Chains A and B, each alone.
Chain A
Amino acid sequence: MLRILGKSLATGVVTEEPPRTEDAELERLGIEVRRHIDRRFGGSLAVREVDAGSCNGCELEIHALNNPYHDVERFGIHFVASPRHADVLLVTGPVSRHMETALLRTYEATPAPKRVIAAGDCACDGGEFGAIYATAGGVEKVLPVDVKIPGCPPSPLRLLKGLLALFAEE
């Protein structure tokens, strides 16, 4: 226990390290996101991530949003286990045909008002996989999409920017 405490104390809070350019931008973006979330969603934005055929690259970067450097929960954004708890669906992948119905059912299970973000080049327009027999070629072929976040995969910072765009649209 002492060693755990020691390690934690010695490491400190990396989230508040002297900001580099990227971190400065993160703070600015994060705080802006927070303002929007406070106004529209009562301080919290529940995100349900759905992999609709991605290569897992996008998932790794979405995970990184939760690491101590980015720590998006401090801005009120949290990932939830069920679409029934979600405000936003964050969808990755070109939508493989075998995930089409599962994605639609997830969308139907999400309570209105709901928003859909297509994250990554594949989700935006099919990306490297394009539209072939096994893929729809982008999320908007299957669902109404509110925001597209390009990138292969989009960096955590770009993902945050995309979330911000969700509010700018309205």
Chain B
Amino acid sequence: MSRFDWLSGFLAELHEEHILVRRGSRHELAPAHLLEIDAEEWGRCGRLAALAEYRWGGLWADPLEEGFELFCLLEHQGDYLVLQSRIEEEPPRIDSLAPWFPVAARAERHCRDLLGIEFHDHPDGRRWTRHQGWAEDEAPLRSDFSAHRLPKETPVPADGGYPFEPVQGEGVYEIPVGPVHAGIIEPGHFRFQAVGEQILSMEERLGYVHKGIEKAAVGRDAEGLVRLAARVSGDTTVAHAWAACQALERATGQQPPPRAHQLRGLLCERERVANHLGDIGAICNDVGFAFALAHCSRLRERWQRRSDELFGHRLLMDTLLPGGVAVDIGAEEIHLLHHDHAVLRRELEPFFDLLLDQPSLEDRLLGTGVLLPATARALGCTGHVGKASGQPFDLRSAQPYPPYDRLPMETPLLQAGDVLARVQVRMRELLDSLAWMDTLLDGLEPGEIRREFRTRGPARGLGAVEGWRGEVLVYLRLDAGGRVARYFPRDPSWHHWPALEQIVLGNIVPDFPVCNKSVNASYSGHDL
């Protein structure tokens, strides 16, 4: 099967529906295929994409001097299609895609809150990212809104009046949780409706850690952008920085040296190992199996110390730069890493056997927090959440970017969709990453680790990297001076948060933490 062999069929359907494609390009936002359509056709085009069962992967708008460009990313058989439309109407309006892709609802609300674009026929008119930090008629991402504008009132009041969906019935009660949670985790609000111990519904209210990342990026140079991207979500610092580098490099037609590609791959897999180690321990701890937490956090600490020793940062922040990477390794370091991998594998294999053979653990994880494959598919879940529910998409195998193009990565796939399956996928990914890193180190190319990065513009680029949580996307536009005009990072958490609302249904309230941890969506990566 060759790439994009489905696209001609889709174009024929557009033609049949009298939807005019203004422009198509394979290069402008490569590796995606770009199709420009009229704003009036946006909704109809979305409907066709939904009927063709494309996966919805993200929506963002780019404010131009006049009007907006609106983008929607779709994926089919491993290939990306980006729909683009120009909105010139003022106030800006366009059809909502949420009736066709329910998972698009929050992205559209985010777009409306930050850019003031109204989505016609949107099923949910409530604010999302906006709390009380700015007014309804203001749009922080527009150029007339100063980045340093102070709020009208400080402290900014709590968003107490947010209208949650009520649930009525005898014995139904509500549990509000957050934004400040009991553990050492990020802030967000969960509204449970329960009967007895059973969860009837759970509604998320996010946006508490909205830091204005999209606005903070505007005007930055390439290095400044990558530094910011490294802090979109601290646990995914490598993947977000890598996606930003990719977008910069594709936009400006520059290639980092082969060794830099390989080292980026190494760093990204190290990040995956660290996070899976931490989460497997924490998931077991959430059902009272502290033994696993003790060992996983011990192994994670050792891993982080090695990262600090060899790459200068315990979480690997700022190890990637536009044009390459910041740190090189020599023969001695490679030997150390091989040794680490062997030691870790020796510890993990019997340890995982032990975990999977604990009846008390199985009793709590098996059948808990099920995400049905059909739901995972509809919500476009990737990473461990998708793979535990029968969704095989993984950028490393679907669109193997360097270094995965020369060194393929096997990915696990399960169908059960419960907490146990998500743990098992993480276990497999962890061991797969260790083996992959060993092969990578054996074939490390000699040569430079960074080429000088020359900024130029105007230009646009798309970044797409498989982070430990799943597919990380970046849209980037550089202005004529080569400075950032628009940066939109799409963390996989945009898909995982709606999945969590489905996962907890019918479970008991005390199992919420373990369900939540098994997904471990990012608040910061979502609130931006």
Chain A contact residues, CB within 8 Å of chain B: 3-4, 7-8, 11, 14, 22, 49-64, 66-70, 79, 81-83, 93-94, 96-102, 104-106, 127-136, 142, 152-153, 155
Q: Is the CB of A133 within 8 A of B354?
A: no
User: Shortest Cβ distance from B225 into chain A, in angstroms?
Assistant: 11
A61 touches B314 (CB 8 A): yes
Q: Is B522 an interface position by the 8 A CB rule?
A: yes
Most buried by B among A11, A98, A131: A98
The answer to whether A68 and B315 touch across the interface, beta carbons within 8 angstroms, is: no
Contact with A along B348-361 (1 / 0, CB 8 A): 00110010010000
Segment 318-371 of B: residues with Cβ below 8 Å from A: 350-351, 354, 357
Whether A99 contacts B215 by the Cβ 8 Å rule is no
CB pair A99–B209 under 8 Å, yes or no, is yes
Chain B residues with a Cβ closer than 8 Å to the other chain, count: 65
Q: How far is the CB of B109 from chain A (nearest CB, A)?
A: 15
A-B CB proximity, top 6 nearest: A57-B234, A134-B212, A81-B182, A67-B297, A55-B234, A97-B133
Q: Can you list 18 residue pairs at the A/B interface with Cβ under 8 Å? A: A4-B354, A51-B209, A52-B187, A54-B186, A54-B524, A55-B231, A56-B235, A69-B301, A96-B211, A97-B210, A99-B208, A101-B155, A102-B187, A102-B208, A129-B213, A132-B148, A134-B211, A153-B234
Docked-complex contact A153 and B186, CB < 8 angstroms: no
Partner of A98, one of B131, B185, B294, B354: B131
Q: Which of B294, B350, B351, B357 has the most CB of A within 10 A?
A: B294
Contact B133 A50 (CB under 8 A): no
- Contact (Cβ within 8 A) B208 A64: no
Q: Which of B159, B231, B357 has the most chain A CB within a 10 Å cutoff?
A: B231
B interface with A by C-beta (< 8 Å): 131-134, 140, 145-151, 154-159, 179-180, 182-187, 207-213, 215-216, 227-228, 231-235, 237, 278, 291, 294-295, 297-298, 300-301, 304-305, 308, 314-315, 317, 350-351, 354, 357, 522-524, 527
Which residue of the partner chain B has the closest CB to A58? B234
Contact B133 A102, beta carbon cutoff 8 Å = no
Q: A51-B185, A131-B148 are in contact. List 6 more A-B contacts (CB 8 A).
A: A57-B315, A57-B317, A64-B300, A129-B212, A134-B140, A152-B317
CA distance A54 to B140 in the complex (A): 20
> How far is the CB of B396 from the nearest CB of chain A, in Å?
23
Q: When the two chains form the complex, which single residue of B131, B207, B231 contacts A57, counting CB atoms closer than 8 Å?
A: B231
> Known contacts A133-B140, A133-B149, A153-B234; is A98 also within 8 Å of B180 by CB?
no
Q: Are A57 and B235 in contact (CB under 8 A)?
A: yes
Residue of B nearest to A81 (CB): B182
B457 to chain A, nearest CB (A): 23
* Complex interface: chain A residues within 8 A of B297 (CB): 63-64, 66-68
CB A23 to nearest CB in B, in angstroms, measures: 10
Given A51-B187, A57-B234, A101-B156, are A64 and B179 also a contact pair (CB < 8 Å)? Answer: no
Residues of A contacting B301 in the complex (Cβ-Cβ under 8 angstroms): 64, 67-70
Residue of chain A at shortest CB distance from B232 = A55
CB distance from B417 to the nearest CB of A (A): 25
CB-CB under 8 A from A69, the residues of chain B are 298, 301
In the assembled complex, the CB of A47 is this many whole angstroms from the nearest CB of chain B, namely 9
Most-contacted residue by chain A among B183, B209, B232, B351 (CB, 10 A): B209
Least distance between A121 CB and chain B CB atoms (Å): 10
- A53 to B186, alpha carbons, bound, how many Å? 8
Q: Which residue of A lies closest to B215 (CB)?
A: A132
Name the A residues within 8 Å of B146 (CB-CB): 133
Closest to B292 in A: A4
B317 touches A132 (CB 8 A): no
Q: Which residues of B contact A130 (CB under 8 A)?
A: 216
Q: Which chain B residue lies CB-closest to A109?
A: B180
Residues of A near B231 (CB, < 8 A) are 55, 57, 127-129, 152
**Residues of B with C-beta under 8 A to A127:** 231
Chain B nearest CB: distance from A68 CB in Å? 5
- Alpha-carbon separation in the docked complex, A138 to B197 (Å): 40
A56 in contact with B233 given A67-B298, A96-B210, A101-B158 (CB within 8 Å): yes
A98 touching B209 in the complex, CB below 8 Å, given contacts A56-B523, A57-B235, A132-B147: yes
In the bound complex, residues from chain A placing their C-beta under 8 Å from that of B140 are 133-134
**Chain A residues positioned under 8 Å from B233 (CB to CB):** 55-56
Q: Is the CB of A98 within 8 A of B208?
A: yes
